[in-house]
Amino acid sequence: MHEITIVRDIFKVLEEEYPNNYRDIIKVEIHAGLLSNVQPILIQNAFEAFIEDEPQYADTELEVKLLPIIAHCANCARDFEVHLHRFVCPCGKPSDKIVQGEELQISQVIFANKT
């Protein structure tokens, strides 16, 4: 199950990026493109397993947002959403230029308000 490795890597990056306050993180949002081979339910399950070993993240929420596949048409210079893995622009021309859908990235990190 590669999802547990993905979750561990996400939190390793956060610990490296925010060494002084990573324990104050209350929510992490990640964007996963449909072509990234990431299933949100499997990431959530992996996160639940992860916090068993890392209880400092027990109060942290992990949200996965799926991003559609967007391709670019060289013929008409438009971006279009790919449906059912058909990389054909509405203008009728095929395209293999993917501009969105392969990424897996941390998109937002929210920290607890410390007063």
pTM score, whole prediction? 0.84
Q: Is the pLDDT of residue 1 over 80?
A: no
Q: How many Cβ atoms sit within 10 Å of the Cβ of residue 24?
A: 14
**What per-residue confidence (pLDDT) applies to 11?**
96
Query: What strands, in cross-sheet order, belong to the sheet with 61-67?
Result: 61-67, 25-33, 104-111
Q: What is the CATH number of domain 2-68+100-111?
A: 3.30.2320.50
Per-residue pLDDT tens for 12-22? 999 999 999 99
Q: In the chain, what percentage of residues exceed pLDDT 90?
A: 90
Q: Check residue 2 and give its pLDDT.
A: 83
CA 100 to chain centre: 12
List the domain boundaries for the chain. 2-68+100-111
Cα gap 100→33, rounded to integer Å: 7
DSSP string, 45-103: HHHHHHHHH-GGGTT-EEEEEEE--EEE-TTT--EEE-BTTB-B-TTS-B--EEEESS-
The model's pLDDT over 44-83, given as tens digits with 9 standing for 90+, comes to 999 999 999 999 999 999 999 999 999 999 999 999 999 9
Nearest to 15 by CA among 28, 32, 4: 28
* pLDDT for 41 beyond 70: yes
